[in-house]
Structure 1
Amino acid sequence: MPIYHARRGGQSYGHDIGILLMECWNPFPPGDVGNASTYGYPVLYETVTGVTIEALVERGETSAIEAMIAAAQKLEREGVKAITSDCGFMLAYQDTVARAVDVPVMMSSMLQLPFIASLLAPGAEIGVVCAHAGSMTARVLDMAWPERNRTVHVAGMEEQPAFRRGILDEEGVLDTEAVEAETVAVTRAMIEANPKIRAILIECSNLPPYSAAVQAATGLPVFDFITMIDMVRASVARPVFTGRY
């Protein structure tokens, strides 16, 4: 057996990905960033006091910077190999957190936009499905992709009743079948209005449970928080293959 040494400041071991959570009262079904069963590897959660859906998603406020840094540094002390978040609008904290820790940081699924564009033919467009379209401003898109060189269309879920009740209004009950239907409908409507869309990015961390349904309904590549987290995790904690070929 190998010899192990205690890590100063660490209280637990073996976590590959650290996840910064906003303060909210939402159920997280399997497939959601906030459900640990979503992952085939260990993750560690840390809630950031003062970051809420109303403040961040609906009003675009980026307060609680010190709390965000402290939470990220705590995850790093616990030994995580990379850090993410549970809201695409935490993109506003990307540079702040990246400067505060020495592990890879991916605060938003929106960071995948340049990569997605590199996969597509010139002239192909990208559709983004987000929690709140009014908050997905050009400034937010610029933070994710400063040298944006193709059209990005945005469709929001804020007017969808099941999503609104379960996520934005935090009523504590989530009808996953209804939210899946709403997500597919919103995506289809965006594509029908913009037929040059060739890939979909799901911004909201609560929507990956429905990405497969969106993919099946549209026939397009679908990216979300989980595609990003899985990719980065593979880069920092690749499994060792020991079987015979």
Structure 2
Amino acid sequence: MMNTERCVGVLNVECELPPGTDHLAGSMINSETFGLPVLMETVRGASLDLVMRGDTTLEASYEAAAQRLVERGAVLITSYCGGAIQYQAAIAAAVNVPVVTSSLMLLPVLLRQIPPSAKIGVMTFDARAFRDDWLGITDPASRHRVVIGGVEGGALFHNESSCPPQSTSVADIEEDVLTSVARLRASNPEIAALLFSCTLFPPAAAAVRRSTGLPVHDIVTLCQATLRSVS
């Protein structure tokens, strides 16, 4: 039976979440963030390693998980792992609600919002593991305007890499992201806007905006804009 209560549907890989993650202010899996219930659906067989590699055998599992979320009342499908952008087309074709798997979908729009000489700073969990093809940019000049920074070595990185994962406070997330942003801006003073590709970063967005004075975009801002477009 289809659930008639509107909600945000979040696809997740097969992994354990740190305790209290859904209560962090600003987290995409905190229902207060969107003013709607947030329902999560694990994608069967979707280990983090396979998703990061873009294993095509997971397409059917992503499609089925998204369909289950729609049946449960989801008016928007998103993902708690940005690597799911590799399955964006398959998921969007499988459901009749908007699908936004990653904040990286905003990149072409953001590049047009800033001067041609300016850059976008993409903040990710681990810059060493970031795949260039996720950007969806083929023009070399546009690619030159995108720089990548990660939070390797910080408290968030350490806690999320632990087994099982450990909780990280909002204060620690803010410190890690601000440190990474400062490092990236020092080597790229042309940065005019920031895009958080990591779904763990939205709780730090407000602090980063205050500290840097820069526009900060993430999966939460993308989902909020999309939700405003649906009845």
Same-fold call, TM > 0.5? yes
Cα distance in 2 for partners of 1:37, 1:43 equals: 9
Could you say if the C-alpha distance between residues 15 and 126 of structure 1 is closer, same or farther in structure 2, counting changes exceeding 3 Å?
same
Q: Which amino acid aligns with 1:119?
A: Q
Query: Could you say which residue in structure 2 is the equivalent of 1:116?
Result: 110
1:162 paired with 2:155, answer: yes
Contact 1:162 1:174 in 2 (8 A): no
Query: Could you say which residue in structure 1 is the equivalent of 2:207?
Result: 213
Could you say if the C-alpha distance between residues 30 and 225 of structure 1 is closer, same or farther in structure 2, counting changes exceeding 3 Å?
same
Could you say if the C-alpha distance between residues 62 and 215 of structure 1 is closer, same or farther in structure 2, counting changes exceeding 3 Å?
farther
Cα distance in 1 for partners of 2:219, 2:102 equals: 7
Q: Which amino acid aligns with 1:167?
A: E
The CA deviation at 1:122 is 2.0
Query: Could you say which residue in structure 2 is the equivalent of 1:22?
Result: 13
Which of 155, 167, 173 pairs up with 1:174?
167
The CA deviation at 1:225 is 0.7
Contact 2:195 2:218 in 1 (8 A): yes
Cα distance in 1 for partners of 2:76, 2:138 equals: 23
Structure with the greater alpha carbon radius of gyration: 1
Contact 1:165 1:174 in 2 (8 A): no
The CA deviation at 1:205 is 0.7
TM-score of the aligned structures, taking structure 2 as reference length: 0.88
Q: Which amino acid aligns with 1:236?
A: V
Could you say if the C-alpha distance between residues 110 and 189 of structure 1 is closer, same or farther in structure 2, counting changes exceeding 3 Å?
same
The CA deviation at 1:62 is 5.3
Q: Which amino acid aligns with 1:171?
A: P
Query: Could you say which residue in structure 1 is the equivalent of 2:219?
Result: 225
Considering only aligned residues, what root-mean-square deviation do their CA atoms show, in Å? 2.0
1:34 paired with 2:29, answer: yes
1:89 paired with 2:89, answer: no
SS of corresponding position for 1:121: coil
Q: For this pair of structures, how many residues does the alignment match?
A: 224
Contact 2:30 2:38 in 1 (8 A): no
Q: Which consecutive residues of structure 2, in runs of 5 or more, have no partner in the other structure?
A: none
Query: Could you say which residue in structure 2 is the equivalent of 1:43?
Result: 38
Could you say if the C-alpha distance between residues 45 and 88 of structure 1 is closer, same or farther in structure 2, counting changes exceeding 3 Å?
same
Query: Could you say which residue in structure 2 is the equivalent of 1:138?
Result: 132
Give the percent of matched residue pairs that are identical in Structure 1 and Structure 2. 33
Could you say if the C-alpha distance between residues 60 and 102 of structure 1 is closer, same or farther in structure 2, counting changes exceeding 3 Å?
closer
TM-score of the aligned structures, taking structure 1 as reference length: 0.83
Could you say if the C-alpha distance between residues 225 and 81 of structure 1 is closer, same or farther in structure 2, counting changes exceeding 3 Å?
same
